[in-house]
């Protein structure tokens, strides 16, 4: 029995020792693995994990630059900034987005418009991005949210800068507006490598000068390194790189002239463009009606957007830039230049100007605005009295191939290149244009007929130009053929140093036309404002010399034999009232094109507006019944430079305050 017991004990002891060896071996292996992992983490991967740890401790906070100001030629502020608090929600950090919004609504008023806008912004944003729920909180609302901040993870109150346009509708089609960065904007920023400069920002220029000069106005973002605790709360600032504020834009535009033009238009629709012929600077740029750009900054609601789009007066259409109209008789001075330069007529030639004109072999009558006609006239006289039949016959004799190239020299049917987006081309008719325009139609529609040219001679037919093109052509006429590129911005001023970079006048070319022909046509235009001329009433008691041309553009064709009656015609189908002019004639300082939609004769509506503007711009005279409307502007202009500098300083201070303000 004893040997068996001894063997069993020995076997158990051997087995125990084996187990101990295996256990010790496993422990040693684990320690070796642990040591190897330690070496991997602490030695080989030290730099990597050190960076991660540093990032956990330090947050890089972008600092938005102060957007540049936009000022008129006298320093009056047209676009500025102000600070306000915004309630923002980061969806990924909340304990249920809907529940959070519902609870917040018990603390501050969340309107249906706020809710709709919030949902729209949510659809355009990522879950980890803060989305504004309510804009421009009052001080009381800000305090209430701050008191309950502990209840709402992912909810912040942030101090932000907002854009303000003091002149609202008056400058809406020039200044434009900024709006929230959407997906399309984001993609464009990525393509251009500008994403970093917009990190933390929500807005970008969407229309007008705000869009075209975005790079100048936006500035360069700064950043701040903030030490944070485990909860992500800021403890202290470690390093700060300040932003470079956006540059200020100083325009050639005179807001006093713009405001006076707006008052003179009243409730009527139309457009007006005034240009300095010597530089190309745009002095006034009005489209009536306008719209309130503030509606678009924080996101326009559906009902307002629908109302603006469906409004028959089309307030969103920039008529000065994109509206195309037949020019009516304002086309005649340029036709006269084409006739003289092509040798189709001489300055002394006298031709019939009867009550109607008929084509050979046709009974159709092209009637004159004066039923009895004007007897006979030379070219200058035909301009003065605006003889339609004279220009019908002239156009027929010349043909479109002679007319088109000379009219194109004035820039008609071409973009002027003004510093605004979306300029329309207009239509300067030609055989090639008609064939292309009606390419999908039968051959008999595409073909150019000799009769097509007759109506073109008086600015009707296929003719269609923008008020900007007509103002530019008038400036070229006034300047004896020197073509300056029209521009709104005159200077770009560095907001930090105050140094300005002038936008030099760009004399693109000079028309190779005879100086004597320019002088001849200008004399005819000057006579328009003298007794016998179509605008003689506004030419009375002129303290300066002035040349102009009235125009009445048909909107709908009148049947043969029918008589036009404005009273019997629906307003939107009535004739448009045109007037182009420049002054002083010997050394022009201002050239203008005015169209008042559906207002009838050019001498009745558009011409008086021009006379009042010229009186103000050249003589400082304001119509007695409108004097009060300009007092505020004049007061601002008195100390314009000081005011603009002070405003810039205030905006910068507000930006610093907004950047430094902690979230409650």
Active-site residue numbers? 329
CB-CB contact of 389 with 338 (8 Å)? no
CB-CB contact of 321 with 287 (8 Å)? yes
Residue 151 sits at φ, ψ, to 5 deg, of -85, -15
Give the residue from 373, 378, 368 showing the smallest Cα distance to 336.
378
Cα separation, 92 vs 32, in Å, equals: 42
Measured distance between the N- and C-terminal CA atoms of the chain, rounded to whole angstroms: 87
Three-state SS sequence of 80-144: EEEEEEEEEECHHHCCCHHHHHHHHCCCCCCCHHHHHHHHHHHHHCCCCCCEEEEEEECHHHHHH
3-state secondary structure of 311: coil
DSSP per-residue string spanning 163-177: EE-TTGGGGHHHH-E
CB-CB contact of 224 with 63 (8 Å)? yes
- The angle at the Cα of 651, spanning 645 to 654, to the nearest 5 degrees, equals 145
Residues sharing a CB contact under 8 Å with residue 532, sequence separation 6 or more, in sequence order: 384, 385
CB-CB contact of 260 with 631 (8 Å)? no
Three-state SS sequence of 27-89: HHHHHHHHHHHHHHHHHHCHHHHHHHHHHHHEEEEEECCCCCCEECCCCCEEEEEEEEEEEEE
Tokens of residue 468, six digits: 């900007």
Number of residues that this document lists for the chain: 664
């Amino acid at each position: 029995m004893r040997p068996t017991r001894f063997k069993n004990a020995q076997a158990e002891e051997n087995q125990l020792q084996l187990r101990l060896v295996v256990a010790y071996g496993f422990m040693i292996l684990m320690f070796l693995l642990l040591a190897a992992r330690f070496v991997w983490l602490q030695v080989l991967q030290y730099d990597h994990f050190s960076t991660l740890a540093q990032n956990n401790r330090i947050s890089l906070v972008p600092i938005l630059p102060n957007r540049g100001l936009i000022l008129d030629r006298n320093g009056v502020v047209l676009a500025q900034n102000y600070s306000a608090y915004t309630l923002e929600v980061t969806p990924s950090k909340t304990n249920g987005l809907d529940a959070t919004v519902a609870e917040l609504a018990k603390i501050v008023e969340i309107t249906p418009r706020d809710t709709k806008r919030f949902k729209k912004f949510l659809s355009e944003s990522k879950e980890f991005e803060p989305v504004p729920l309510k804009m421009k909180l009052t001080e009381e609302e800000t305090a209430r949210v701050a008191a309950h901040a502990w209840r709402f993870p992912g909810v912040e109150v942030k101090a932000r800068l907002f854009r303000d346009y003091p002149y609202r509708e008056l400058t809406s089609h020039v200044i434009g507006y900024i709006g929230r960065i959407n997906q399309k904007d984001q993609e464009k920023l990525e393509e251009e490598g500008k994403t970093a400069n917009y990190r933390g920002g929500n807005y970008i220029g969407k229309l007008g000068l705000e869009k075209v000069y975005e790079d100048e106005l936006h500035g360069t973002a700064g950043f701040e390194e903030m030490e944070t605790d485990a909860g992500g709360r800021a403890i202290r600032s470690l390093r700060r790189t300040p932003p470079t504020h956006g540059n200020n834009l100083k325009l050639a535009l005179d807001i006093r002239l713009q405001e006076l033009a707006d008052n003179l238009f009243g409730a009527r629709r139309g457009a007006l463009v005034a240009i300095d012929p010597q530089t190309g600077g745009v002095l006034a740029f009005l489209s009536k009606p306008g719209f309130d750009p503030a509606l678009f900054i924080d996101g326009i609601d559906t009902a307002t957007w629908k109302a603006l789009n469906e409004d028959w007066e089309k307030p969103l259409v920039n008529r000065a830039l994109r509206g195309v109209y037949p020019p009516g008789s304002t086309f005649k001075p340029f036709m006269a230049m084409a006739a003289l330069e092509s040798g189709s007529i001489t300055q002394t030639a006298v031709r019939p100007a009867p009550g109607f004109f008929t084509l050979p072999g046709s009974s159709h009558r092209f009637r004159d605005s004066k039923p009895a006609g004007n007897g006979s006239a030379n070219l200058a006289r035909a301009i003065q009295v605006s003889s339609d039949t004279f220009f019908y016959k002239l156009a027929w004799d010349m043909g479109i191939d002679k007319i088109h190239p000379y009219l194109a020299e004035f820039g008609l049917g071409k973009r002027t290149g003004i510093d605004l987006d979306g300029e329309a081309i207009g239509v300067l008719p030609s055989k090639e244009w008609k064939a292309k325009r009606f390419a999908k139609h039968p051959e008999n529609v595409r073909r150019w007929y000799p009769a097509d040219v007759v109506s073109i001679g008086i600015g009707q037919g296929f003719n269609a130009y923008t008020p900007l093109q007509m103002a530019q052509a008038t400036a070229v006429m006034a300047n004896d053929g020197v073509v300056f590129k029209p521009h709104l911005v005159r200077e770009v001023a560095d907001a930090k140093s105050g140094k300005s970079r002038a936008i030099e006048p760009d004399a693109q070319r000079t028309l190779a036309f005879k100086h004597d022909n320019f002088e001849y046509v200008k004399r005819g235009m000057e006579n328009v404002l003298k007794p016998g001329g179509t605008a003689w009433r506004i030419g009375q008691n002129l303290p300066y010399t002035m040349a102009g041309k009235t125009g009445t553009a048909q909107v709908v064709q009148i049947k043969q034999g029918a008589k036009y009656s404005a009273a019997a015609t629906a307003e939107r189908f009535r004739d448009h009232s045109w007037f182009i002019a420049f002054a002083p004639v010997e050394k022009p300082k201002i050239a203008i094109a005015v169209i008042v939609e559906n207002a009838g004769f050019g001498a009745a509506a558009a011409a008086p507006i021009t006379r009042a503007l010229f009186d103000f711009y050249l003589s400082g005279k304001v119509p007695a019944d409108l004097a009060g409307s300009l007092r505020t502007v004049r007061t601002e202009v008195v100390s314009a430079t000081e005011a603009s500098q002070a405003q810039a300083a205030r905006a910068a201070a507000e930006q610093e305050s907004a950047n430094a303000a902690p979230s409650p």
